[in-house]
Each structure stands twice: as structure tokens, then as C-alpha cells.
Chain A
Amino acid sequence: MKGFKGRDIISISDFSKQEILHVLDTAKNFENYRNPSLLKDKMLATLFFEPSTRTRMSFEAAMHFLGGRVIGFSDARLTSISKGESLWDSIRIVEGYSDVIVMRHPFEGSARLAAEAANIPIINGGDGANQHPTQTFLDLFTIYKSKGTIDKLKVGFLGDLKYGRTVHSLARALSLFGAEMYFISPAELRMPSDDIEHLKKEGIVFHEVEDLIGTCPKLDVLYTTRIQKERFPDAADYEKVKGVYRVDNSMLKHVKPELKILHPLPRVDELSPEIDNSPHAVYFEQAANGVPVRAALLALVLGVAE
């Protein structure tokens, strides 16, 4: 296993099974953990070239709980980027002010470029439609906590499997843990061929289906996603598929008692609020898990946890 000190967190594909498990074990130690001296004198820079609430706030909360400080921006229009500064230059400038950088950027590959530019760790908070590795770590952590394992589970992915980057990354990560996967979506929103090829190459058992009710009784975990209106080039295509699936009390009649339902949030109408208090729903815990997982990643890359 590679050491974590000074390491960039760019793509879930950069991590082995053993390394993923190490992050999850470390995150467990950071649950409800407050230690104002652990990251004392450490500075996190949050560069959000695109809007974010959960990712940015949970990183900030994690840093504050561990005694660190935060600088940054969440509107690139107010920065030198609006004057035409390259990303490379922006990163070189900001690394002079901080010990670690979390960045969200609209262009795919921007996080990898930032990591090349910087001598301090870069954590990818989402690069376009490509990767959002800290979300994948917290999704895995939620499964790990709620199921007691992430090995050999039957996992359903529901909704927008074409544009949903959280789905692509989680499926890749779960392929390391022998999951059997069910991709439940309208034909227009199936998993990209790249990801399907990868699963085939890895010998993963998976099924592409459209029927939620017929599939849900088999599942240990259901990962639900919003059908993202903003990703559709044509509004008419969105209208055809919006609201096609709904996870509600009537669906829960068909599932295993121990099924856990995750959702990266925000939700629209695919996840009925009537199931929020059901033992199946773990999506608010999932959002809260962002703090211990991101605290663990900050502590690991800053070298205060091993």
C-alpha cells in the first residue's frame, strides 16, 4: 500500500482495495471526533469554480473540527480566473497560501492538471462529469457502516446512470469488492460503454434492466440518483424520462428487510419523503458521513494520520 502523506486524491481508480479499506477504517476513527489541535496551523484552500454546498461545507466542517483553518472562494467570477488566468497559474499561486487544496472545476481532467501543478496535496471535489472521489469514499463508508461489509453485495443503481458521475465511480470501486450490480434505468440513460467494458474486463456480474419493482427484491443496497435536468442537451429528452422511477412505500413492500437505500442528494421526486424514517433510508446519514470521511482524507494527506 502506498503511503497517504502528500498524496493527491484525484480519482477512485487510483486506489487499491486495501487503500480504500484503509480510508474507511480511518474514517471510522473520525466519527464524532473533535480535536482542535490535530490540524492546528494547517490551512485548507477550497477552490470552487462551480457551486457546491455539501462538499464544500463538509470539508470546511472537517477542517474546523480538527482545528485547521480554511480560505477559498465559491464564485470564480470574483477571482483572477475571470481575467484569463490559467488553472496552472491559479494553483501555483494558491499553493503558496495553503497546505492542501480542495477543488471543484467544470472541466474534466482539471484536478489531474492541478495535481501536476502543485507540490501540496490536491483533493478533487468534482471535475466536470468525470470524478468525485470523496463522494465515492463516503458512499462506500455508508455501505460499510450500514451493512457491516462491502464485500459481495447485490447493489442496484437507479436513475441517471449515463450522466451520474457518482454512479460511475461507485461501480468501479465496488468492482474491487465482488459486487453483483443491477443497473436500473430507462434505455436513454444506461451506463456509458466505457464503464460497461471495464466491468466486463474485470469479470463482474452485472445486469442492465428497466424494471425497478421486479429487480428490487434481489438487492442489498439501492443507490438512487436524481435525473439531472442540467445534463441533458435537449429539454425534450429530459421530459421523456423525468419521474420514470419513484422509490416510495409501495416499492418498499417488495424489498428485503435489510435493504439500504442511498442517494447522493439533492433529490427531486425519485425518492419520496414518506420513506425518510424507514430503516431502509440511510441517505441523510450518508450526507453526514461526508465529515468523518473528509476529515480522514485531510488527516491522511497532511500526514497526521497513518
Chain B
Amino acid sequence: MKELKVTAIENGSVIDHIPTDNTFNVIGILKLDRHDDTILIATNLPSKKLGKKGIVKVSGRQLTKDEANKIALVAPDATINIIKDFEIVEKLKASLPKQLVNVSKCFNPNCITNRDSVVPKLCVESARPLRLRCEYCERSMTQKDIQLV
């Protein structure tokens, strides 16, 4: 029998294939630090595709397609399984939307979004390699410039 390194959940979401270094960024994007049900987090798990990967299991919350898409910012290969009564009822694939609203700050310190109370909006110019453009100051950002809101 296959050994489960993290316990199965009854109802909720399982986010798999997260690059291990970005596991906690997924927690940040989904604001799971404010979630009051069980969250199981595993990092440095062996992965053929990623080398090392992270998994996040969230009890009591079914992620939406929009939330799955936001995860693609830090985990472009992530898969999200929606669980009901220990069974997978839906599979979502993370896919970056055209626009990211209030997900990452603009990296330009002189951008109005970092100076006034403004919700940052980033346009996705390219998913791989990741290239985002601030809709206000027009600066382009890459993966290393991301600062989650």
C-alpha cells in the first residue's frame, strides 16, 4: 500500500505540484493564514517534474477557478483537486488570467500604487517566462519582482 505522507482530507482542496520554494507564497495568495480549519502543508517532497515540490491541503474550502488562476503566478504547474467525502469531485489547472488585481504589488517604488491607496493591477504579458506589466506605471516585472499583497 502506498504510504501517505500527509493525511487525506474529507472536504476541501488539495493543491499539488507547487515549486517547493513557493509553497508559502501559495498560502499568502489564498490568505490561508486567516483560515480557521485544518491546513496541511508539505514541502520538499520528491517530484519527477519539479525536483522538489510542495502540497497544500485545505479543509473546509473549495477553491474557485479564479483562485486557481492566481496560484499560477507562483506555481504555473499547480493542480487543484476539489474533495468531497474523500473523493475528487473536480480538477482545476492553474492558468494565469490576463489581469491580476490586488495579488502582487508593483515593484516600482515610485509607482502611484505604492504611494497612494490604490489597488495594484498587473497585466499578464507572458506566462512563461513570467512577464507582468503594471497597468498604472507601465513597468514590466518578472518572477523575481513579485511582492504579494
**Given A107-B110, A108-B108, A108-B111, A86 and B116 contact (CB-CB distance below 8 Å):** yes
Contact indicator A109/B117 (Cβ below 8 Å): no
How far is it, in angstroms, between the C-alpha of A5 and the C-alpha of B116 when the chains are bound? Answer: 29
Contact indicator B110/A112 (Cβ below 8 Å): no
Contact indicator A108/B136 (Cβ below 8 Å): yes
Main secondary structure of the interface of B (DSSP, over half): loop
Contact indicator B140/A110 (Cβ below 8 Å): no
Is B16 an interface residue, CB under 8 A from the partner? Answer: no
Contact indicator A109/B136 (Cβ below 8 Å): yes
Q: List residues 7-41 of chain A with CB under 8 A from any CB of chain B.
A: 11, 13
Contact indicator B138/A131 (Cβ below 8 Å): yes
Is B6 an interface residue, CB under 8 A from the partner? Answer: no
Is B95 an interface residue, CB under 8 A from the partner? Answer: no
**Given A128-B110, A129-B110, A108 and B139 contact (CB-CB distance below 8 Å):** yes
Contact indicator B111/A107 (Cβ below 8 Å): yes
Of chain A, the residue at the smallest CB distance from B120 is A109
Is B31 an interface residue, CB under 8 A from the partner? Answer: no
Is A88 an interface residue, CB under 8 A from the partner? Answer: yes
How far is it, in angstroms, between the C-alpha of A109 and the C-alpha of B137 when the chains are bound? Answer: 4
Chain B residues within an 8 Å CB radius of A110? 112, 136
Chain A residues within an 8 Å CB radius of B135? 109, 112
How far is it, in angstroms, between the C-alpha of A87 and the C-alpha of B136 when the chains are bound? Answer: 14
Per-position 1/0 for A177-189, Cβ under 8 A of B: 0000000000000
Whole-angstrom distance from the CB of A305 to the nearest CB of chain B?
Answer: 28
Contact indicator A86/B117 (Cβ below 8 Å): yes
How far is it, in angstroms, between the C-alpha of A252 and the C-alpha of B64 when the chains are bound? Answer: 65
Per-position 1/0 for A109-138, Cβ under 8 A of B: 110110000000000000111110000000
Contact of A113 among B110, B136, B138 (CB under 8 A): B136
How far is it, in angstroms, between the C-alpha of A130 and the C-alpha of B112 when the chains are bound? Answer: 11
How far is it, in angstroms, between the C-alpha of A106 and the C-alpha of B112 when the chains are bound? Answer: 9
Q: How many A residues have CB within 8 A of the partner chain? A: 20
Whole-angstrom distance from the CB of B113 to the nearest CB of chain A?
Answer: 6
Is B118 an interface residue, CB under 8 A from the partner? Answer: yes
Is A194 an interface residue, CB under 8 A from the partner? Answer: yes
Contact of A87 among B106, B110, B112, B138 (CB under 8 A): B112
Whole-angstrom distance from the CB of B80 to the nearest CB of chain A?
Answer: 32
Contact indicator A13/B138 (Cβ below 8 Å): yes
Contact indicator A128/B139 (Cβ below 8 Å): no
Contact indicator A87/B139 (Cβ below 8 Å): no
How far is it, in angstroms, between the C-alpha of A11 and the C-alpha of B112 when the chains are bound? Answer: 15
Per-position 1/0 for A123-167, Cβ under 8 A of B: 000011111000000000000000000000000000000000000
How far is it, in angstroms, between the C-alpha of A106 and the C-alpha of B110 when the chains are bound? Answer: 8
Chain A residues within an 8 Å CB radius of B132? none
Contact of A128 among B113, B117, B137 (CB under 8 A): B137
How far is it, in angstroms, between the C-alpha of A113 and the C-alpha of B110 when the chains are bound? Answer: 14
Chain B residues within an 8 Å CB radius of A112? 112, 135-137
Q: List residues 120-149 of chain B with CB under 8 A from any CB of chain A.
A: 134-140
Whole-angstrom distance from the CB of A133 to the nearest CB of chain B?
Answer: 12
Q: List residues 83-108 of chain A with CB under 8 A from any CB of chain B.
A: 86-88, 105-108
How far is it, in angstroms, between the C-alpha of A86 and the C-alpha of B116 when the chains are bound? Answer: 7
Chain B residues within an 8 Å CB radius of A106? 110
Residues of A within 8 A of B (CB): 11, 13, 86-88, 105-110, 112-113, 127-131, 194, 197
Nearest 7 pairs of A and B residues by beta carbon: A109-B136, A108-B137, A109-B137, A109-B112, A107-B112, A110-B112, A112-B136
Q: A11-B138, A113-B116 are in contact. List 20 more A-B contacts (CB 8 A).
A: A13-B138, A87-B116, A88-B118, A107-B111, A107-B112, A107-B115, A107-B116, A107-B137, A108-B110, A108-B137, A109-B112, A109-B113, A109-B134, A109-B136, A109-B137, A112-B136, A113-B112, A113-B118, A127-B112, A130-B137
Residue contacts A-B, CB under 8 angstroms, 6 given: A87-B116, A108-B110, A109-B138, A127-B137, A128-B110, A130-B137
